[in-house]
Structure 1
């Protein structure tokens, strides 16, 4: 139950962590950014059966969380779409990756964005960023005297076990927020806007949170309240090898494979993944086919060329933010290769969001997308140029001027997921073809532009690229070809 939603004032000295207003000047784009304390009580659940059933472990534990809201300044310009993001916590920092990938589409179409802190392990960095602003945040463990098992202490869970907090408070927070956004209560921060459809999205670990929410919570009678909590779902880069526990005491418990993917989706669900998840993160092991079954409305897009993180989404967006430098948490490319993978997956995510919204509003499902081809070992198959075969493609791959990898070589010890590894499977790299090879393939820059435009027009027709983004995609490809020597 949410008992209080309180707007947090923004001043020159105090502003939201990783503020989009500071990075993007949202106010100049006709958008406002507001942050709120969300206070209330939540149940902590425990596993009841291997297929995702849950029961209450501890009832009505108090919490203070935060949400971030980005919406049109002019309420009349609102599209009626509300996108709720489970903010990613994997690096112990708030990463609103689905906002980063989708903001251009959200802003031009008038969509509302609401991000919710999804795990208390990020609070320490927010407090370091601004103790006065975030010092009151609390996910207090309602059973602090209950010890972790010896096995759990030995394995370390997900690396953030802490008797002071409880990750399992999140599920009720998310449900209660969804119902608040739908309703007309005075404390609803978007009550003045048109709110026709509410969607849930999440990236990477947060995509896995989304899987668990659908499998264990969304269709429980007391959660659904005779309707649907969310009208549609879009997961990005979901890690299918990661089972999300319903509370921290169950970290590293064995999971049925069905809990690492979505088993039921009565509302439209689009899964977008990159080469990283398909290969190194083994999504191919539990692959699911597209479906129009009323119990499983599902589409999957494999974004060929893209790595889990890209230079655009993980490095460039933060603009060398001095605040993130100050708290020693500025994302950077650590690969030995000259250029990090900068495949423009954000353009394909924009189309995926639009396709989801259309599917929900009209019932017209998106067209099917080819999947990435894999070999007998589950690795992504490569073509003669060294690029991956199949999947959702653009002119950058159909008319390549270089090769894209989902994995970078790094110095040993830099990989925070595996300090012993000399490979980084999250942010890959790109490697240009020689000037002579590019010229032999395409002749002139004008001819290359012509081919890129034709290819992109086809992708727009299929619905994989928004018409508004077509020129930008072509220009990215053309400028890259020019940089690599095509004249």
Structure 2
């Protein structure tokens, strides 16, 4: 594999031109000898009233004061060189264009003090489907991340998101670059690219960026915020996370790049992966570079097996049917630890992904449209898919740390290409919850309307007469919910803190 061990002269000149050469710590001697290079890092960047990270916790649609959780947020500029890969057939990727300079931004949320740090870092390629960075991993799993004392890291992964960042704050993000290493007159710089792409930039820089950021977080480089006050990184395990488009990126990374890292480094950078709502014909893989197509819907490259580290794939009720090709048997084999889950009742495009990402005024400042919270049928489904992600992340960690295999679940029941529904119109099978097993609504995975409404879903609450007929009074309903919750906790489908939250939600249901 043609993988650079240090920054090229061209990168150094580019850093000097942008001012990143000042106050930027190089890798330590040990890290400089590693096959996957530790990138150059500037930061943490200063935060003022007028200049702050896009998607900062205190500037979300629903602001979070991380200090109340004894967490801090920091933003860094990360620079290095990345190979552009091709993936012409099943098996690892091959280098198409080597050593392309890049600069991206990395958002870090971590426990304030090292004594609270679990040793886990969840590393997410930020979702660019709305043409700006969405912090979806944080949105759907921050309760478990904070409860466990994990760190979360989000990486800007696509040039279209860089464009939005520069619109938002031209000075703060001036150095960001996903420049295409091929000039416009090079025949390998294809004449036609996707609508969200440009011939002057290259989407395929993300793969080595993802490896190098992981290597930085595990390194002893003085810029690594997860060293705390130690001379060494306090990271024990790095978990890869991707959601929807970046879930598909994770499939590419797992199958095409992860083997190259293991071959060159002798071990993986990421110790497990959580692939969210991406599989089969639904966001199941993406082009390795912007000049070649994605693997076809039925291509074996979209399936995951024999990775060598644990992998979970989680689909939603919005996407499991087009993604049905991602189904495969669960496995506890040492080299093929795998779980496939499907969230009964849950929508793909959730309110949480907007609540916990940039505030509407910042999205507008970035030159982007604010995604709608409502569709023709009403508000986006409020179904709390976070309960499944919290439990999945906890179970994934137990699998890695203690070898405790996660529970298994049947997929959503399908017959003749359609879901099998219960008497209330809810799907059968899949990951269960009181929302379907002690129902007060019918849950749909698709809706109609603008933007991503087709995967947002919606809810149709039962009328009062139906609720009264089912439960008679609130006491009966709450006891049924408590029994469901207790069973799910015992089976490790639900965390204790989410159990308490679900019970509080149940007490708010009005049954006369």
- The TM-score with structure 1 as length reference comes to 0.91
Selected match of 1:62 from 101, 105, 109: 101
> What's the counterpart of residue 207 of structure 1?
247
Tell whether 2:363 aligns with 1:324: yes
1:122 aligns with 2:157: no
Distance in 1 (CA, whole Å) between partners of 2:326 and 2:81 is 36
Q: 2:395 aligns with which of 332, 355, 363?
A: 355
Shift of 1:40: 0.9
> In the alignment, which residue of structure 1 is the partner of 2:475?
446
What is the CA–CA distance in structure 2 between the aligned matches of 1:319 and 1:143, rounded to whole Å? 33
Q: Secondary structure at the match of 1:431?
A: strand
Q: 2:445 aligns with which of 388, 406, 410?
A: 406
State whether residues 288 and 294 of structure 2, in contact with CA within 8 Å, keep that contact through their aligned partners in structure 1. no
Name the residue aligned to 2:495: 466
Instruction: State the match for 1:182 in structure 2.
Output: 218
8 Å Cα contact 1:215-1:264 kept in structure 2: no
2:113 aligned residue (43, 57, 74): 74
Q: 2:412 aligned with 1:375, yes or no?
A: no
CA 1:256 to 1:387, structure 2 compared with 1: closer, same or farther past 3 Å? closer
d(CA) in 2 for partners of 1:384 and 1:256?
34
Q: Please state if 1:431 is matched with 2:466.
A: no
CA–CA separation in structure 1 for the residues paired with 2:379 and 2:468: 21
Measured after TM superposition, the shift of residue 182 of structure 1 is 1.1
Q: Compute the displacement of 1:393 (Å).
A: 0.8
Bigger relative contact order, structure 1 or 2 (CA pairs below 8 A, ≥6 apart): 2
Correspondence 1:300 to 2:340? yes
Q: Secondary structure at the match of 2:456?
A: coil
User: Do the aligned residues in 2 keep the contact of 1:387 with 1:404 (CA within 8 Å)?
Assistant: yes
User: Per-residue CA shift, 1:278-301, capped at 9, x if unaligned?
Assistant: 12xx12134111111222110122
Cα pair 1:203 1:237 within 8 Å, conserved: yes
1:87-236 aligned within 5 A = 87-145=126-184, 146-147=186-187, 153=192, 157=194, 159-192=195-228, 194-220=234-260, 225-236=265-276
Deviations 1:434-475 (A, max 9, x none): 111101101111211111011001000110100121110122
C-alpha distance in structure 2 between counterparts of 1:79 and 1:335, whole Å: 40
Identify which of 295, 301, 304 aligns with 1:262. 304
Query: Cα offset for 1:75?
Result: 1.2
Query: Which deviations, in whole Å up to 9, do the C-alpha atoms of 1:265-312 show, x marking residues without a partner?
Result: 211111111111212xx121341111112221101221100010122x
Q: Pairwise CA RMSD of aligned residues?
A: 2.0
Out of 192-201 and 340-349, give the one that drifted further.
192-201
User: Alignment partner for residue 14 of structure 1, among 51, 62, 70?
Assistant: 51
Give the drift of 1:79: 0.7
Q: Return 282-291 or 61-70, whichever deviates more.
A: 282-291
Equivalent residue, structure 2, for 1:396? 435
Cα deviation, 1:400-452, whole Å, max 9, x if unaligned, reads: 11101011122xxx347xxxxxxx32211101111111011011112111110
Aligned match of 1:421: none
Determine if contact 2:306/2:335 at 8 Å carries over to the other structure.
yes
Tell me by how many angstroms 1:254 deviates: 4.5
Aligned to 2:377, what secondary structure does the other structure show?
A: coil
- Cα distance in structure 1, aligned partners of 2:403 and 2:217: 23
1:184 to 1:369, Cα distance in 2 relative to 1, 3 A: same
Deviates more, 1:83-92 or 1:186-195: 186-195
Determine if contact 1:139/1:165 at 8 Å carries over to the other structure.
yes
Following TM superposition, by how much is the alpha carbon of 1:122 offset from its aligned partner in structure 2, in angstroms?
Answer: 0.9
- CA shift in 2, pair 1:199/1:126, >3 Å: same
| Count of aligned pairs between the two proteins | 464
Correspondence 1:249 to 2:291: yes
Distance 1:320 1:186, change over 3 A: closer
1:224–1:289 Cα change, 3 Å: farther
Residue-by-residue CA offset, 1:11-60 (whole Å, 9 max, x unaligned): 1111111111332111222100000000111111122x410432211111
Matched, 1:30 2:66: no
Quickly say closer, same or farther: Cα 1:461–1:434, change in 2 above 3 A: same
Write the distance in 2 (CA, Å) between the matches of 1:161 and 1:321: 24
Q: What residue is the counterpart of 1:41 in the other structure?
A: 81
Q: CA deviation at 1:165?
A: 0.5
CA distance in 1, matches of 2:436, 2:288: 40
Aligned residue in 1 for 2:124: 85
Using the TM superposition, name which of 174-183 and 32-41 deviates more.
Answer: 174-183
Q: State how far apart, in whole Å, the 1-side matches of 2:264 and 2:155 are.
A: 20
Alpha-carbon distance, 1:104 to partner: 1.4
Could you tell me how far apart the structure 2 residues matched to 1:292 and 1:253 are? 27
Aligned-pair CA distance for 1:227: 1.3
In structure 1, what is the Cα distance between the partners aligned to 2:159 and 2:280? 22
Give structure 2 stretches of 5+ with no counterpart.
Answer: 1-36
Whole-angstrom distance in 1 between the partners of 2:480 and 2:428:
19
Q: Is the 8 A contact 1:214 1:264 kept in 2?
A: no
1:315–1:332 contact (8 Å) kept in structure 2 = no
Equivalent in the alignment of 1:278: 320
